[in-house]
């Protein structure tokens, strides 16, 4: 709620009849910050976006975009939006689509057209959108969203269905805009996809905010165990199991779990086993485990 | 000023799309061919009064226009709102500073421009050919110009109606079905129902009082009555059109009906678009 935040959401509640789609969510996004909203389908991500755009009226709470009400002139000028599925008219060229949206946003088309270069489809500017691949269409959508250097970019699952290269380039462009001061709020299904590309994440489940913070912090706070898989030497699995405890798998391996801060001492104990151990594999809790932890789904294989 | 520029952008894109998807070509060809067919196949026998060819064709073309222009107008506009919802572009467009009222008016203007162009070229070519072959007098030229301009007004009514119907469903398919339904009811079934009622009534109170008002209330009939009533000729007119010369209202009331339909349809399109959650 300080002057520094572009988007401030305070105790926001949105209802569709008897269904509460967003339930008391508070969230702030500052200039230059990239925040990801994570959640399953129906978690309330798109509903939250549509409220920021002014399409839905909140049942409770407050929401402001740089101090302006959602849907107001000032808010519309500050915000740009890219939904997951957008089909531009097939008969128009990429340059025509961009020109159209530049004029709607009150930006000179000449100033907007270089954005096709930014997103890497300048070569296809004169071709009909109908001939574009899914990745190119999404890049065109991003170029459209970047017109006029918005203060807040709202991207609803922008990279779903993109190949890994397009996805990386997509996040490169977002990083550049964030560095230039644009606040980015995007939604995603998958934590692993946005690792290292995002400053902060907010996990939504059933309309409620379950966790919010930097990925590393969330990961630490989750306190998920580290799994160490010890492969015993020929015929030594009984001895290893007797010394370490844990769970036997596959006839030759033992899996033990420990907390992150106990990792070093666990490895020291392993070293004492000497030649009884053939191999060691350490699995840190991965991002999807962290996500599942906060969204209330128990992951298989995680002990405790 | 920026509001006007935004509207100009929307209208220009609609105009461009109508060209790209061959709508303009199709509509212009249809208007030209039907007008010429009526001129040279339909009114062929009236050989004695060649100078009247333009007037006579205007009379018969006004009947055909009632079917053709609403069809073409609905064809260009039925998709305008529902299609954008379905493709996801409405959310994008409404996230920009463009207001919903601006969107409705601008799309209407874009569609009307292409329809006016198609009618102008189609009926213009046909009129020029008829005048070139048979010659033309002042009355004929005036009748033709009146037909052309009121056809554009009739088209405007159905474009606005198509946009209003397009604001009801979220799917293009449903919007298409609604448009076809509207065309059938307003253009075909309405007249049949009235004729049936007149036959049953056998010259009773209904025929004398309610019937003329009901005919005039229909935009297609209002258009046709206006054109026929002002054509001073003994062109054969039948059915509902017999009313043209016995209408118990001033002729201009037909124009008023068309304008009322236009205003009401545009208002409905705007109101329906306002409640959409894209």
Q: What CATH number corresponds to the domain at position A152?
A: 3.40.50.300
Tens of pLDDT, residue by residue over B136-187, are 888 889 999 999 999 999 999 999 999 999 999 989 999 999 999 999 999 9
Q: Please give the structure tokens belonging to residue B76.
A: 């260009």
Site from A102, A104, A129, A152 to mutate, B interface, most B CB atoms within 10 angstroms: A104
Q: Which secondary-structure segment (H or E) carries A11?
A: strand A7-16
Query: Would residue B180 count as lying in a domain?
Result: yes
ipTM for the complex?
Answer: 0.88
Cβ-based contacts of A53 with chain B (< 8 Å): 91, 94-95
* CA–CA gap between residue B93 and residue B78 (Å, rounded): 18
Cβ-based contacts of B13 with chain A (< 8 Å): 89, 92, 96, 100
Domain's final residue, options A203, A220, A237: A220
Q: Are A80 and A116 in a shared domain?
A: yes
Per the DSSP assignment, residues forming a β-bridge with A279 are A231
| Residue B114, domain extent | 2-272
Query: Would residue B176 count as lying in a domain?
Result: yes
Structure confidence at residue A304 as a pLDDT band (50, 70, 90): very low
Query: Would residue B277 count as lying in a domain?
Result: no
Structural domains of chain B, count: 1
Q: Are A116 and A236 in a shared domain?
A: no
Query: Would residue A211 count as lying in a domain?
Result: yes
Burial A225-242 (b: 16+ CB within 10 A, else e): bbbbbbbbbeebbeebbe
Quote the pTM value. Answer: 0.87
Tens of pLDDT, residue by residue over A26-54, are 999 999 999 999 988 888 999 999 999 99
Q: Are A13 and A156 in a shared domain?
A: yes
Mean pLDDT, to the nearest integer, of B66-90?
94
Q: Are A141 and A261 in a shared domain?
A: no
Query: Would residue B278 count as lying in a domain?
Result: no
Structure confidence at residue A302 as a pLDDT band (50, 70, 90): very low
Contact criterion met (CB < 8 Å) for A53 and B95: yes
Q: Are A201 and A229 in a shared domain?
A: no
* A residues 99-138 lying closer than 8 A (beta carbon) to B: 99-101, 103-106
Q: Burial level of B48, CB count in 10 A (0-12/13-18/19+)? A: exposed
Structural domains of chain A, count: 2
Contact criterion met (CB < 8 Å) for B9 and A77: no
Q: Is the pLDDT of residue B11 over 60?
A: yes
| Residue A238, domain extent | 225-284
Q: Are A180 and A36 in a shared domain?
A: yes
Q: Are A37 and A117 in a shared domain?
A: yes
Query: Would residue B63 count as lying in a domain?
Result: yes
Q: Are A114 and A71 in a shared domain?
A: yes
CATH, residue A251: 3.30.70
Q: Is residue A47 within 8 angstroms of chain B, CB to CB? A: no
Q: Is the pLDDT of residue A298 over 50?
A: no
Q: Are A211 and A234 in a shared domain?
A: no
Query: Would residue A304 count as lying in a domain?
Result: no
Q: Are A162 and A40 in a shared domain?
A: yes
pLDDT of B114 reads 96
Q: Please give the structure tokens belonging to residue A242.
A: 């007797």
Q: Is residue B171 within 8 angstroms of chain A, CB to CB? A: no
Tens of pLDDT, residue by residue over B241-273, are 667 677 778 888 999 999 999 999 999 999 999
């Amino acid at each position: 709620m300080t002057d520094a935040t572009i988007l401030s959401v305070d105790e926001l509640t949105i209802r569709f009849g008897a269904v509460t789609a967003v339930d008391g969510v508070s969230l702030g996004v500052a200039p230059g910050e990239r925040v990801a909203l994570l959640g399953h389908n129906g978690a309330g991500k798109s509903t939250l976006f549509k409220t920021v755009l002014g399409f839905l009226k909140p049942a409770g709470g407050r929401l402001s975009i740089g101090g302006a009400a959602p849907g107001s002139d000032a808010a519309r000028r500050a915000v740009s939006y890219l939904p997951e599925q957008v089909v531009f008219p097939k008969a128009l060229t990429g340059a025509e689509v961009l020109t159209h949206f530049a004029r709607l946003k009150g930006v000179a088309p000449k100033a907007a057209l270089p954005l096709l270069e930014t997103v890497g489809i300048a070569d296809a500017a004169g071709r009909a959108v109908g001939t574009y691949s899914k990745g190119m269409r999404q890049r065109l959508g991003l170029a459209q969203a970047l017109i006029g250097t918005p203060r807040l970019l709202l991207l609803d699952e922008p990279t779903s269905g993109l190949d890994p290269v397009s996805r990386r380039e997509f996040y490169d462009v977002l990083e550049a805009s964030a560095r230039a001061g644009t606040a980015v709020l995007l939604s995603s299904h998958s934590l692993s996809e946005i690792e290292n590309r995002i400053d902060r994440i907010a996990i939504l489940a059933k309309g409620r905010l379950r966790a919010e913070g930097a990925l590393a912090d969330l990961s630490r706070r989750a306190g998920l165990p580290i799994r160490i898989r010890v492969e015993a030497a020929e015929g030594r699995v009984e001895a290893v199991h007797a010394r370490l405890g844990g769970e036997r798998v596959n006839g030759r391996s033992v899996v033990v779990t420990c907390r992150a801060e106990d990792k070093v001492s666990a490895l020291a104990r392993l070293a004492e086993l000497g030649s009884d151990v053939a191999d060691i594999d350490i699995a840190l809790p991965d991002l999807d485990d962290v996500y599942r932890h906060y969204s209330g789904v128990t992951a298989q294989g995680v002990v405790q | 000023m920026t509001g006007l520029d935004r509207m100009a952008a929307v209208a220009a894109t609609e105009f461009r799309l109508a060209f790209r998807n061959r709508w303009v070509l199709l509509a212009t060809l249809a208007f030209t061919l039907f007008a010429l067919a009526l001129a040279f196949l339909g009114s062929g026998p009236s050989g004695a009064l060649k100078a009247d060819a333009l007037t006579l064709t205007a009379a018969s073309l006004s009947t055909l226009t009632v079917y053709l222009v609403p069809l073409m107008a609905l064809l260009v506009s039925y998709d305008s709102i529902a299609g954008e919802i379905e493709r996801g572009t409405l959310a994008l467009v409404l996230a920009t500073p463009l207001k919903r009222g601006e969107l409705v008016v601008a799309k209407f203007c874009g569609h009307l421009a292409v329809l006016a162009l198609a009618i102008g070229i189609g009926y213009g070519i046909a009129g020029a050919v008829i005048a070139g072959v048979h010659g033309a007098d002042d009355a004929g030229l005036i009748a033709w110009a009146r037909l052309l301009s009121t056809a554009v007004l009739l088209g405007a009514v159905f474009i606005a109606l198509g946009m209003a119907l397009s604001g009801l469903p979220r799917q293009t398919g449903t919007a298409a079905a609604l448009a076809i339904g509207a065309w059938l009811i307003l253009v075909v079934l309405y007249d049949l129902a009235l004729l049936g009622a007149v036959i049953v009534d056998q010259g009773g109170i209904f025929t004398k009082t309610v019937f003329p008002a009901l005919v005039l209330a229909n935009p297609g009939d209002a258009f046709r009555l206006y054109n026929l009533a002002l054509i001073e000729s003994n062109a054969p007119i039948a059915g509902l059109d017999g009313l043209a010369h016995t209408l118990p209202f001033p002729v201009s009331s037909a124009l008023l009906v068309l304008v009322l339909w236009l205003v009401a349809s545009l208002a409905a399109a705007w109101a329906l678009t306002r409640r959409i959650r894209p």
